[in-house]
Amino acid sequence: MPRLSPADAAQNLYAIISHALSGAALEDYGLSVSPAQGDQILRELLSLCLFWAWSALDAGLADKNRDRVWAMLSQRVGDAWAPDLGLPLQDLESYTAELSQRRRLYESLAREGGNPLAIATEAAGFMEAESIIGPEDRLKLLALMVDLVPVDELGAAVEELEIID
C-alpha cells in the first residue's frame, strides 16, 4: 500500500485523469467539433473524471484525508488549466462552480443506483441539450466518455492509498 502525502496522492490521481483529456481523442471517435466545442467537451470529461476521483476519495479515505487530497487535486487541476489542458484561463473560475454543480448532480444519480454508463449518458445528454454536440454525435461522445473516463483506475488508486502527514 503506497504511503503518500496529500500532494503526491493528488499528483497520482491527476496523472490517471490527464490521459483522458486529449483533444486528439475527439477525432478518434469521429467527433468533428469547433475549438470552443472541444473545450466544452474537455471540461465535461474533466468533470466526470473529478467526480469519480471524489467518489473514490469519499469512499476510501477518512474525511480529513479526503479533503486534503481533494484540495491538492483541485489545485493541481487549476495549475494545469491553461498550460497542460489548453483551456482559457478566464474560464477557470466559472468551471469551479460548474464542477460543484455537476458533482451534486452526479452524486444524486449515483445514490439512485446510477452506474458509470448512466452518469456518462447524463453528461452526453447535457451536452446535446446545450447544443455542444448534435444528436448524431451523442453515441460517439458517450463511447468516448465510457472509454476514457478512468473510473476503475481511480478507484483502485485510492483503494491502495495510505495518506501520511
* 30 Rama sector, left if φ>0, alpha if ψ -120 to 50, beta otherwise: left
**For position 26, what pLDDT does the model report?**
84
Q: How many CA atoms lie within 13 A of 23 on its CB side?
A: 12
φ, ψ for residue 114, nearest 5 deg: -65, 130
Over the stretch 45-77, which tens digit does the pLDDT of each residue have? 999 999 999 999 999 999 999 999 999 999 999
Each domain of the chain, given as residue ranges in start order, spans: 3-163
Q: What is the rounded distance in angstroms from the CA atom of residue 64 to the CA atom of residue 43? A: 27
All cell numbers assigned to 162: 495510505
Task: State the average pLDDT over residues 13-22.
Answer: 83
